[in-house]
Amino acid sequence: MTVIEHARPSAALLADAAVLSLCAEARLSPKPGLVDARGGGAHDDMDLPLMLASAEALRPAFRMIAQAAERTPAGVGLRERLGVIGRLGDRAMLRATGGINTHRGALWSLGLLVAAVAGGAAGERAAAGDAARLAALPDRWVPAGEPSHGERARRRYGTGGARREAENAFPHVIGVALPRLWAGRAAGLGEDSARLDALLAVMSLLDDTCVLHRGGPGGLRAVQHGARRVLDEGGAGTGSGRAALMELDDALRARRLSPGGSGDLLAAALFLDRVPWPERLEQEVLACGR
């Protein structure tokens, strides 16, 4: 029996995958309330070129995160090193965007997942579990400062936010976005429709702190119910579903509601979907050998 050994993806490859996933999420259109190829959505200070520049600015941070995870055993030391790199990445993002927070939540989520894959996780669920263990570790060097909008919403409404999503092993990525994405492809949907349906599935369930910050519980209900209606109408790949999607987009723009947390989790799902997992490569080798 031939044993196939698989090398871990390189730090450069993982950084590429993270940046490409952020760019793919940004370009996906039409996304309700979010920046996409049509414009800024519910934002008047963001557009697609800004989002793409922000993603590219994070490439060095993702590469350093992967390198740190390759060299450092999982534990508090690695967690604190990732915190340092993450703060450097955050500053690079703000320089690239003129001070606009475009990808802070995505940097947190994707950074943990990049570290998990670089550290040896062999599949999507394993990576989410390893990332959860890292997220739960303390970081003594977190500087005091003003809480983010998402953190304020988390405290005010008692929701988990990006931190709890990570500590719970990314349930909306592993249990919602990826299964919906894969099901859409299996059903023959185009890639954009499959990705939009995955986004909408997350929006229908997530207590998105970006939405709570701007619209409170009423805004969150509007987002969740609207996303569920699009899916009930058949999803983004059907005529009635697309009509419901555009109605939702109009409503979110009018109320300035941006489901940014859901967008970040879609990017995380696209990253995990892009990683060349050992079992996926092994399946390709076996298929070529038939």
Q: List pLDDT tens digits, range 138-196.
A: 998 888 666 776 777 767 877 878 999 999 999 999 999 999 999 999 999 999 999 99
Closest CA to 161 of 265, 62, 88: 265
Rounded to an integer, the average pLDDT of 217-241 is 98
Q: What is the mean pLDDT of the chain?
A: 92
The overall pTM is greater than 0.75 = yes
**Helix H or strand E encompassing 135:** helix 124-135
- Angle, CA of 105, 96 and 64, to the nearest 5°: 60
Instruction: Measure Cα distances from 82 to 9, 100, 265 in Å.
Output: 18, 22, 19
Q: Can you give 269-289 as a three-state secondary structure string?
A: HHHHHHCCCHHHHHHHHHHHH
- Confidence label for 280 from pLDDT (cuts 50, 70 and 90): low
Cα separation, 215 vs 223, whole angstroms: 10
Q: Which domains does the chain possess?
A: 11-141+161-280 (1.10.4200.10)
Q: Does pLDDT of 281 surpass 50?
A: no
Q: What pLDDT is recorded for position 156?
A: 81
User: Token pair of 6, please?
Assistant: 């698989």
Cα separation, 252 vs 223, whole angstroms: 8
Residue 72, Ramachandran bin (φ over 0: left; ψ between -120 and 50: alpha; else beta): beta
